[in-house]
Structures are given as structure tokens and as C-alpha cells.
């Protein structure tokens, strides 16, 4: 990345697309759209020109800082791409398993084993319920309460 020039309120950089991928440059440019105006141009087949223009008037030192941060973001984006490329099989496996789980089983449901339920001792004896959680809906709110009809 070379800085071509600093104009009034603008830093113009030229980025070599043989060093940084086009996707990394676009990703870095996107992260700066909330801080400044970003203009892209392709003056050569192996170069992208990036113009970072301040939303308000910036001093020379602020423009230099902005250009330096853009260079750092280019490195971040390049590293993210490499990590994604290296972990692509893992990412695809996780995504397909997640989507597969959301769709449900793809085969006929297996027989459910109810043997554990048969072993439970169920009786009609009352149990301790100090918080009153086991109260039925009808006991709590009354049976079949009808709402008054509104005259429409």
C-alpha cells in the first residue's frame, strides 16, 4: 500500500491487488464507511485506488492516522480470509449440521423406548407443593369462564 497524496480533507491510497486481495480491500473499505466517505477506483489491472474523505474537515495528521488504520484493516481482512480458507471444511460441517438439525430427522422416526416410564412409581397420593406450582389451570382461574361479548 502506498499513499499517493493527501489533499484537502482526503487521503488517496493505491493498493496492489497482487499483495492484498480485492475482497480484503473491499472489506477494509466497508469498515471505514461509518467514519469517512470511501471512494474506490481501478486505475490499473493490478491496483485499486482508495480515497478516504473526512465527513468533516480533518487535519493532515488525522488523515495520516486514517490511512494507517486503513492499512491495519487491510491486514485484518487478509488474515480473516486466510483463517476462513483454512477452516472452510469445519465451517461447512458446522453449518450443514446446524441446518440439518433444524430440518429435523431425515429418516423415519426410531421407536421410542418407554421402559423407563414403566419403572416409575406413579400414584395418586398428594405431594408437597409449597409454591403452589402444581395447581391446575381450572383450579387457579376457574372452569370455562366465558368472556363477555362485545357489541360490534
Where b means 16+ CB within 10 Å and e means fewer, 89-128 reads eeeeeeeeeeeeeeeeeeeeeeeeeeeeeeeeeeeeeeee
Q: What is the CATH topology of the domain spanning 2-90?
A: Alpha-Beta Plaits (3.30.70)
pTM for the predicted model, two decimal places: 0.59
74-104 tens-digit pLDDT: 999 999 999 988 888 888 888 887 887 777 6
- CA dist 1 and 15 (Å) reads 5
For the chain, which residues make up each domain, given as ranges? 2-90
Ranges of residues in the chain with a pLDDT under 70 are 1-4, 104-114, 116-122, 124, 126, 143-152
Amino acid at each position: 500500500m502506498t499513499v499517493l497524496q493527501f489533499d484537502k480533507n482526503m487521503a488517496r491510497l493505491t493498493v496492489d491487488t497482487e499483495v492484498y486481495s480485492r475482497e480484503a480491500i473491499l472489506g477494509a473499505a466497508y469498515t471505514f464507511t461509518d467514519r469517512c466517505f470511501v471512494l474506490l477506483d481501478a486505475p490499473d489491472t493490478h491496483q485499486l485506488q482508495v480515497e478516504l474523505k473526512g465527513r468533516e474537515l480533518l487535519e493532515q495528521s488525522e488523515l495520516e492516522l486514517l490511512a494507517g488504520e486503513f492499512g491495519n484493516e487491510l491486514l485484518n481482512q487478509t488474515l480473516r480470509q486466510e483463517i476462513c480458507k483454512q477452516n472452510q471444511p469445519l465451517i461447512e460441517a458446522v453449518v450443514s449440521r446446524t441446518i440439518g438439525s433444524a430440518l429435523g430427522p431425515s429418516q423415519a422416526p426410531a421407536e421410542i423406548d418407554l421402559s423407563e416410564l414403566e419403572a416409575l412409581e406413579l400414584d395418586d397420593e398428594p405431594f408437597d407443593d409449597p409454591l403452589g406450582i402444581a395447581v391446575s389451570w381450572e383450579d387457579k382461574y376457574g372452569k370455562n369462564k366465558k368472556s363477555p361479548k362485545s357489541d360490534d
